[in-house]
Every structure is written in structure tokens, then in C-alpha cells.
Amino acid sequence: MRPCDLRGTSVLLSVSVLFVQRAKRVCDDFRALDLRPSKSNNMRGNRRKTAYKKTPVHPPRSNKMPVDQDWPSVWPVARVFHPASVPLPLHQGWVEPGITPPGKFANAELMKIPNFLHLTPPAIQRQCEALKKFCTEWPKELDTDEKIDHHFPLQITTSDYLHSSPTIRDARARIVTLQVKLSTLNLNSHAKDKLLRLVKERYDPVTDILTLVAERCPLRKQNIDYAMYLLNVLVSESWKTEPWENEKSEADMEKYVWEGSQSQRTLQQLLERMPNKAPDLPEVIKQYSVNVTRFHNEGEDTENVNAYKESVIKLLGLNA
Amino acid sequence: MIRFSPTGTVFRVWRRFSSWSANTMPITETITDTFRTNELDPMNHRKDHDGCFYSISQSVKKQLFTGGGLPKEYKELSETLNGLSIMVRKPAIELITYLNKTNFDAPVTRYVLYGKTGSGKSISLAHILHYGSNAGMVLVHVPWVPNWVRFPKGCTPSVIHPNMYDHPIESVEWLRHFSTQNGLLMQKLELKTTETYTWSKREMTAAGSPLSELIDLGMNRAKYATDCVAALLGELKKAAVSKRCRVLVVIDGFNAFFSPRSKVQREDKSIVLPTEFVLTDAFLSLTRNDWTNGAIVVSVDASALPLELRESPLPRYQLGKQGFEHLDPFIPIEVPNYSEKEFHSQIDYYIERNWLQQPKARTDRGRAELSFTSGNHPLSLMKLVAPY
Amino acid sequence: MAVLRELVVFPSKCLRGVRSYFLSAPLFQNGFLKLNESVSKDGHALDLEQSDTKKISKAMKSYMERAKIHDNFIKQQLHEYNIGKRHLANMMGKDPEFFTQADVDEAIRYLFPSGLFDPRARPMMKHPDEIYPKRKAAEFDVNGRPYHSLFYTSKPNYYTLMHDLAVKFKQLDRHEDKIISRGIQDQKPTELFLFGSEWIPKQKVENVLLETLTDAQYENLIKTFERFSQHPYSALEKDFIMQFRRQLAAQVEIQQVPELMRDESGRPYMTYNTRRKTSNAAVKVIGQGTGVISINGNDIHFFQREQDKKQIIFPLQFSDMLGKVDVVATVDGCGTSAQSGAIRLGISMCLRSFVNAETIERMRLAGLLSFDPRTRERKKPGQAGAREKFTWKKR
């Protein structure tokens, strides 16, 4: 056959092929069964026409959703926003007033937000119901904070971290904070002083709470065990008295003590030299010592200073 | 002059202030004047003089305060306003009552004036100084201790005391100040030294020589001035005990003696503590209560210490452990901000002296504004009212 | 789907082009504006059928088609919105019958938490009327004849409004003449009802009239309205005028001055929390006082600068309460200027309860009662600071 004859037939063929294809596209719901798909003619003349195929876009699924459907089944897990599956006419985007904001299709902003379509209130309720069988009821006797503190003085705080991604891991989840009030530990003065020296700024004098933070182990359970161990060690050590503790000097004292202080010695020397002493001397001395101790231990303020002043005036007999 | 615009922004109008002719101010005002009193003798100041101004004559001012004692701004203001007037305030009155009642056979009482910086401690001390001068007491006055600690004019290592430091120039100045304050009195008392002081192989002051000789030696020989001062203080102490004279010790900025650092450095750049000064030793021994027939009035101020120790104006904090143990037991006297009466009296004084020229400042509203903006704090008020 | 896509694109194209595709129904009947003109009303059949005598031109035909498409589009959106509301109520487990727009907003905020600052940038699900801008319904009939007599002014609604104002003016004049001729002396002209409101801005007028106005036209309109409302009997047309006025927010606030509270010793006091930049202040003003001030436990010298002290003293001096009240304030954050500004506002707000209405108004005019919204402007990339640019080099 001559080439031109062939060309003519090929054109005819391609036309018929196209016709068939157009017919196929008319009915979108079902694909027509094609047992013998005709080979598309890839010769140069035909290529341009079949080069770009538009993929058939079905109408969004949201059109067919019944209004009383079970939403948690439609959107069971955290998922990037999918406009065709969400039957809400959303708009997002900042526009000048008078302009329509962009719709939900191909809207990157809506996809950026971590949505909570998987955690709607009914879904949460279902999850709570499912979890209920793993929970026990709160004991009725523990109805006030004081009772809870009395029976459960130790408080352990841990944190769990949620991500909008599928992962449940977070490095911070291993951190364990243990809090206990020192008044519940029943320490005597020596033990308390030693404990406070060991513990330094982990103790808050305002609330009387000792806070231990354990994060050195990789697992939370290990950190909890370590924190408990640490507390035990602290308490046991503070009850012990080491031999070198006797070497505690005045500079180490945490409180001001009148007995043996410089103030007392100066007062003694003064009293020896005073010609006319106050009549009720022992009381005056006691009051003076109390006032001096007060403003050393409690911090100085005008009230303390005035009290000190009064006691010194009485001591030196200047009241006339 | 301070002007307000409706939006509350402030404009300052600068005005040259020229002092008027040097008229002596009238002293013949009656006591019924709300803010002045003509009781010029501090020995007689009582509670009802609280809030009133009394004037100090030029001669007294020259005698007492030439070597220091009045804060610089106050002194300048007094010169501008044609005469030194001091307000009689509660702390001073309290001190005067105590001093009048003191049993001078008992060991010396120590009084400590404390308060915020600029609340009037130095002025109260000046008042007491005047009292002491009128009462015939020998005045041992240190105008401002931090001058010795922070701005020493030249510290030399001491010869007699190892590891201690001398203040030659300051000692000479102080001796001069002492002789000005107590010149006449010393001539009258004719005190003598009780022991021999050997300065060098050739120089010595024999026992029984007049104290004025000691003072002159110190003023002429700067090398030995510091030790002269120490010797003088020792002699005065003994003289007081043996009832030959009565001594009033007035020290401003006492807590500088216990400051953690000074501006003096050794050759290896290490800082010398104020407790290593000979002068500190001398004055600390004087302020101990191991002698009688005298009184010690001292002030502690936050500005005498470095910046990080200025949190609280209260005496224990300012003196520190060492200072407190040295002075304990002492009577702390607070120098507070102005009370209402005192504030109005101060404003009256400024108005009368024509220092407050803005007519609006003289109204009630103006006074309320001044009171509020200065917080009734004496130094703030002085600065607020100044045209510069 | 293909059809849907086209519809989505359609409105934006329309807006950029010629505005008045569609004609409105007779707009001003009985002197009232009809404000809902997005969908063509009854009476104007946009049929594609030919009239008896003429053929419809191709342009007219395509115009009709587009009008129909838009109408259908809006109907579709409304349908989607209603269905969407029911879906949303079902999702959130609420009753669809009683699901209001407020519930819708709350649900959207729950499901799509957006951290964007501007509320207009956040996800929204609103009635199509609020999202799709209103446009005029058909402005001319099948034959191309406009319905509105002023159509060829190209701003028929605007000029109708101006004409209406003129007509009303004459009516009020005639009313006044009648009153005077009857000699009714006790019928005084009614007071101004304009207090506490201001004229709506140009954008709002454009939304009402569905036409763009030039600045000169807007100014002209406002001047005419002003003149109209200054007529002694303008109160008769109050509703008409108030359509173009909006309430000032400040008025509402001032009317709600809180009552003084009493503490244990019987002294009256008032507290207020304020902020300025990033500093927060809690201020308590106590009556029957002597002028004591405490800021974070310190006195006025907490602020070392003159200007900060002046800020604190200003409200007290202005209202003559200096020395009559005590102030206790705690403040934190930011710098001294912001702290003093916050305390100043706090003191002013507390003083409202102590002073009379005239002083409150004076304080408001002095700017003492207004919150200062200025915050630090963010630094932008490509610049050295918020406004400062990098050194400009010519080459």
C-alpha cells in the first residue's frame, strides 16, 4: 500500500476511536466494560489530541452524606483536612471587605490548621464510655482538700503530650515532679535544718513544700522510683548526726541565738559598769534578748526596730 | 517654674536667679509665726518647736561647719537664701531630751539616726552639733566618713601599726576642723596629755603637755597626723572619764567604716578594707561604750555603702554584723519624711524667702501637688523646688 | 463538578468587571430603603423567551444566562449552608432545629482552632448573604429598558436618596408651616436624637446602596443629611436618619460606671485592672484618704523620673482628688513609662466612681479614660526594624 492511503485510513480510525471515547464519558457513574480496549494510535498525527487527559473528577462525597450520619465513623482519626469529605461550607482567608473569602477546596490555610474533626463531643463521649471500665470511682470519704492532703501527702506530677500527628512519643513525658509538705515528715529541729541545707532552693518556705524533679532516667517509671528513693535518702540522712556537725560555728548558724552571742557579752560588760540599773533587770534583759533575736531571725522592719529601741531605752534607764 | 499643659506633659521655664542684696534677715518675728521660732538655743528646743525653723548665726556656722557637716546643696541653698535656718524636727528634739536627761556617770549611750537617703539625718546631726557646742561639750565631729573610704586623697601604709593605712591629708584637715570647732573651749579647758608619744628619734610629745601642742604637731606634720588623731581621741576619752571635759561624738555615715570595700589599693591591686585604716580603729575605739561622761550620736545611710547594699535603710542592715555588734546596744532613732505640719512649714519658709515664685505653688492645690510629687521627702522637695 | 467549578470562579470575575449587571426592584417606596437586593425579586421574569415583537440579542441572552447562573449559585450556596448547619449540629451532638449562628461559630472555633490574630482571617461558616457580596438584581428588562428612572446616572440608588432627602425636606417645611399657621405654641420642636452616634462611614453607605461612591459624593451626602437633621422637625424622620447613623462605643461604657465598694472599716474604695503595652497594673483607690500612695509597696519614688510621677498625679489633680484619696497599686512588666501609663489609666477608671458625671466627661475629653492600644510593632524581614530600612545604596 502506498503511504498516503494508510494515512487516510489511520485518520478514519482515530476519529472513530475519539467518538467511542466521548460516548464513554457521557455516563459518569459506571465505567463501561471494555474487553478489548483499542490501542490508541501513537503516530505523530494523533499524539497531540491524546496528550492531555483530564482525569474524571467525581462530585464530592459530602453531597451524598446523610444529615444524621455517624460522624466518628466518617472521620475516626486525626487527618489533614479533606474538603470533599467534610460537608461544611467553610471559608478561610483574609480578604478586603466586600470580597468573598476563598472556599474550602484547595485552601492551604484550612489544611494547615490541626483540626479536631476526630474529637467532636460525641466522639469524646464514646471514648470516655469505652475507657470507663478501666477506671475506678473516686472514694466518697475524700471530699475535702484537707482530707486528701492528710491521707495522701505525697504528690507526683507527670505530663503527657499530645501531637496532632500519629506519634505518641515525647521526650518530656519522662519528667517526674515529687512534692511533699515538710510538716508531714515529722522532723525534729536538727533533722529539718539538715534537710534544708541538703535541699537548698528546692524548698519553698512560703508554702512549706519540698519539690524534687527527677528526669535523669529515660523512663517515667524509673524516674518515679528514683524520686522516692531520693526522698527516703534525704530523710534518713537528716536524722543522722555526723561527728563533724559539732564543728558548727557562729557563721554557719541558720538562726540567731542569744546565748553565747556577742550581744550578750557586750551587755554583760555594760551592766558591770552601769551605776544605776533598771529595777526589774532580768525582765528587761529578757525583753531585750527577745527583741534582738526577733529582728535577726524574722528580718528587719520598722516595727522590730522600734521594739528594740524600747527595750534598749528601758535597759539604759532613759525613761524619765 | 513648672508648667502643666492639659495633656499632662511638663515644660520647665528656665529663669536666672539673682540673689538680692545682702540684707540680714529679720530675727524679730514672733513665735506665733507658724514656721519660725526665735528660740535660737538648741538646748531649749522642745516638742512644741516641732516644724519650726530657727536660724543659726554666721559666726556659729563658721565655727561649726567650715570643715563640713552640712550637705553641699543645703549649704549652697542657705547662702542663696541669705542665712542658715534649720528646721527643728522630732528626731533632733528626741535626741535633745535624751541628752538633757543623760546620766553622765553611766557608760556612754550610743544613738543611731537612720532613714532614707535625703530625709534629713545630716541636718539633724548639725542641730545636735550646735546643741553640743552650746552645752559646752567637746565636739568630735566627722562630717562624712565615706569621704575617707571612697575618695581618699592619698593613703600611705602606717609606720607604727603594721598592715594598716594612714590618711595623712584627711587627718590634717580633720585636726583643723576640730580646732576650729573647739578652739575657744580647748583654751578654756587646758587639757593635758597623760602619756608620752614618741613620733621619731627626735620628736616626741611629753606627758603633761597641752593637747593644743599635740594638735599643732599633727597639723604641721602630715606624716604623723593620723597617729596624732588617734592619740587625741584616746586623750579625750581619758579626760572625759576623769571628768575634765564632756565629749560629744557626732559621726555622719558611720556604716562606711564597715563597708566591704574602699578605693584604696595595695601595690598588688588588692582592695584595702576600711577596717584596716588607722582612723577607723581610732574612731571605733572612741565609739565603744567603755567610757563615761559623753554621748555618741551616729548616722547610718544607704549612700555610704556600695550600690548592692542599699536595699534597706534600717540600722541592722546598714551596719552589718560587725557594725551592729560594735554598737549594740544602741538607740535607733528614725528620721522620717516630713509630716504634714513640717511640710507646710517648709513650703512657708520657701515662700517667705521667695524661693517658690510661681504663684500657683502657693495655693492649696499647688502644695498638694508638691507634696505628692516629692512624696514628702525632704531632698526630693528641695530638688523639685529648685529652678535648676 | 465541572459546572460547580465554573460557578465558584464566576462571582469574583463579576465583581472585578462592570458592577450593575442586574436591576433592582423599585428601591425607595414610602421613603424606606430596601436593603436586600441580591436576588432578583418577583415581577421580573428573566426568561429566555423572546418578546412578541423583537429578537433578544446575543449579549442580552448571555446576560440573562449569567444572571440565572448567579441566582442558582446563590441558591445552591444557601442550600449547602443549611445542610451544612444540620451536619455540624449532628457532628457536635446538638439539636439541629435549635442550632443558631452563634452555635455554628462556636463549633467552628472548636473544630478548627486557628491561632491567627485577625478574626477575619480565621475559618468561618456563615450565611451566604454575609459571604457573597450583595449585588443588584436585574436593572433592565428583556428589551433592554431600565426599570429605574435614574438608571442612566449610573448611580440610581445614590441619586434617589439625595432626591428623597430633598423631598422630605420640603415635607418637613410644609409641616412646620402648618404648625405655625395653626398657632400651636406649645408644640416645641423635638430635641436632637443624634447624641451618641455618628454617620456611618463611606464603606457602609456603599454596602447599603450597592454602589461605589466618590469621596466628594459621600461628603455631599453627609452634608445633606446634616442639614436635614438640623431641621427643627427632623425628629419626625428619626428612623430614616438613624438608618445612616451608628452608635459610638464610648457612650455605652461611660454609662456603666461601677458602684463604690466598702471595706471593713467602712471606707469606700474602687479597684480596676489595666494594662499598657505588656505591663499589667492592679489599682485600688480608697476614699476618705490623705493622699498616701503605694506602688508595689514603695512610695511615689518607685518611679524615679519626673514624667512618670506626673503621669500618676495627672488624674488626681485633674479631678481635684489630690490629698482626698489613697492609692494602692501593684504593677509589673515592661518599662517605667508603660507601668506609669497603666497606673494612670487605672486611677482614672477608679476615680469615675468618686466624681460626678461632668468631671467624668471632662476626663474622657482629656483622654484619661481611653485605653492606649499602641504596642510594639513587629520587625519585618528585609528591614532593620519595624520601619527602619537598611541603608539604601543607589547601585
The A residues from 247 to 266 touching B (CB cutoff 8 Å) are 262-263, 266
Q: A154 and A222 share a domain?
A: yes
B313 within 8 A of B264, measured Cβ to Cβ: no
pLDDT at C54: 61
pLDDT at C380: 95
A110 within 8 A of A104, measured Cβ to Cβ: yes
CA A181/CA A207 separation, integer angstroms: 8
Q: Is residue A239 part of a domain?
A: yes
Work out the widest C-alpha separation in chain C, in whole angstroms.
94
CA dihedral A23, A24, A28, A34 (to 10 degrees): 160
Does residue B113 sit in helix, strand or coil? strand
Q: Is A200 on the interface with B (CB under 8 A)?
A: no
Q: Is residue A241 part of a domain?
A: yes
Q: Is residue A48 part of a domain?
A: no
Q: Chain C residue with minimal CA distance to A67? A: C87
Question: Which spans in C125-214 are helix H?
Answer: 128-131, 156-182, 202-209
Residues of chain A with pLDDT under 70: 1-28, 40-42, 46-51, 277-278, 319-320
Selected for mutation to probe chain C from B337, B360, B363, B373 (highest C CB count within 10 Å) is: B373
pLDDT at C281: 96
**DSSP category for residue B336:** -
Average pLDDT over residues C122-146: 86
Task: Count how many domains chain A has.
Answer: 3
pLDDT at C143: 78
| Residues C331-356 pLDDT 10s | 998 899 999 999 999 999 999 999 99
Nearest by CB to C111, from A62, A103, A117: name it.
A117
The C-alpha cell at A252 is 554557719
pLDDT at A254: 77
Q: Is A25 on the interface with C (CB under 8 A)?
A: no
CA B323/CA B337 separation, integer angstroms: 25
Q: A238 and A268 share a domain?
A: no
Query: Hey, are the CB atoms on B328 and A318 less than 8 Å from each other?
Result: no
- Give the C-alpha distances (Å, rounded to integers) separating B221 from B167, B215, C41: 12, 10, 116
Q: Which residue has 551605776 as its cell numbers?
A: A275
pLDDT at A50: 57
CA B36/CA B349 separation, integer angstroms: 8
**Chain A contact set for C133 (CB, 8 A):** 98-100
Q: What is the mean pLDDT of chain C?
A: 83
Residues of chain B with pLDDT under 70: 1-33, 388
Residues 6+ apart with CB under 8 A from C217: C155, C158
Q: What is the ipTM of this complex?
A: 0.80
Selected for mutation to probe chain B from C322, C326, C344, C347 (highest B CB count within 10 Å) is: C322
**Chain B contact set for C367 (CB, 8 A):** 7
- pLDDT for C12 beyond 80: no
| Residues B260-278 pLDDT 10s | 988 888 888 888 888 989 9
- pLDDT for C313 beyond 60: yes
Q: Which domain does A267 fall in, by range? A: 253-316
B175 within 8 A of B219, measured Cβ to Cβ: yes
Selected for mutation to probe chain C from A88, A120, A302 (highest C CB count within 10 Å) is: A88
| Residues C51-82 pLDDT 10s | 545 677 777 788 888 888 999 999 999 999 99
Question: By C-alpha distance, which of B189, B380, A147, B50 is closest to C309?
Answer: B380
Q: Is A318 on the interface with C (CB under 8 A)?
A: no
Which of A108, A135, A162 is the last residue in one of the domains?
A135
Q: Is B102 on the interface with A (CB under 8 A)?
A: yes
**Chain B contact set for A284 (CB, 8 A):** none
Residues 6+ apart with CB under 8 A from B60: B130, B133
pLDDT at C5: 40
Query: Hey, are the CB atoms on B371 and C367 less than 8 Å from each other?
Result: no
Residues 6+ apart with CB under 8 A from C84: A87, A88, A89, C125
Q: Specify the range with the lowest mean pLDDT, choosing from A170-184, C95-109, C192-206, C266-280.
A: C192-206
> At C202, is the pLDDT very low, low, confident or very high (cuts 50, 70, 90)?
very high
| Residues C19-53 pLDDT 10s | 333 333 333 333 333 433 444 444 444 454 545 45
Q: A126 and A195 share a domain?
A: no
**Chain B contact set for C317 (CB, 8 A):** 4, 365, 368-369
H or E element that contains A80: none
Q: Is residue A63 part of a domain?
A: no
The C-alpha cell at A233 is 535518702
- Give the C-alpha distances (Å, rounded to integers) separating A319 from A309, C232, C386: 12, 84, 69
Residue A12 exposed, middle or buried by CB count within 10 Å (0-12, 13-18, 19+): exposed
For B60, left (φ over 0), alpha (ψ -120 to 50), or beta?
alpha
pLDDT at C331: 95
Q: Is B5 on the interface with C (CB under 8 A)?
A: no
Q: Is A307 on the interface with B (CB under 8 A)?
A: no
Which of A89, A112, A135 is the last residue in one of the domains?
A135
Which of A245, A261, A288 is the last residue in one of the domains?
A245
pLDDT at A100: 93
Query: Hey, are the CB atoms on A273 and B103 less than 8 Å from each other?
Result: no
Average pLDDT over residues C351-363: 91
Nearest by CB to C132, from A65, A94, A100: name it.
A100
| Residues C207-230 pLDDT 10s | 899 999 999 999 999 999 999 998
Q: Is residue A153 part of a domain?
A: yes
Q: Is residue A28 part of a domain?
A: no
Q: A294 and A215 share a domain?
A: no
B372 within 8 A of C326, measured Cβ to Cβ: no
Domain ranges of chain B: 42-334, 340-385
Question: By C-alpha distance, which of B177, B171, B147 is closest to B274?
Answer: B147
Neighbours of C228 (CB within 10 A): 17
Residues 6+ apart with CB under 8 A from C115: none
pLDDT at C251: 59
Q: A151 and A203 share a domain?
A: yes
Q: Which residue has 512549706 as its cell numbers?
A: A208
pLDDT at C189: 60
Q: A241 and A216 share a domain?
A: yes
> At C11, is the pLDDT very low, low, confident or very high (cuts 50, 70, 90)?
very low
Query: Hey, are the CB atoms on C322 and B7 less than 8 Å from each other?
Result: no
| Residues B57-114 pLDDT 10s | 999 999 999 988 899 989 999 999 888 999 999 999 999 999 988 888 888 899 999 9
B193 within 8 A of B208, measured Cβ to Cβ: yes
Q: Is residue A160 part of a domain?
A: yes
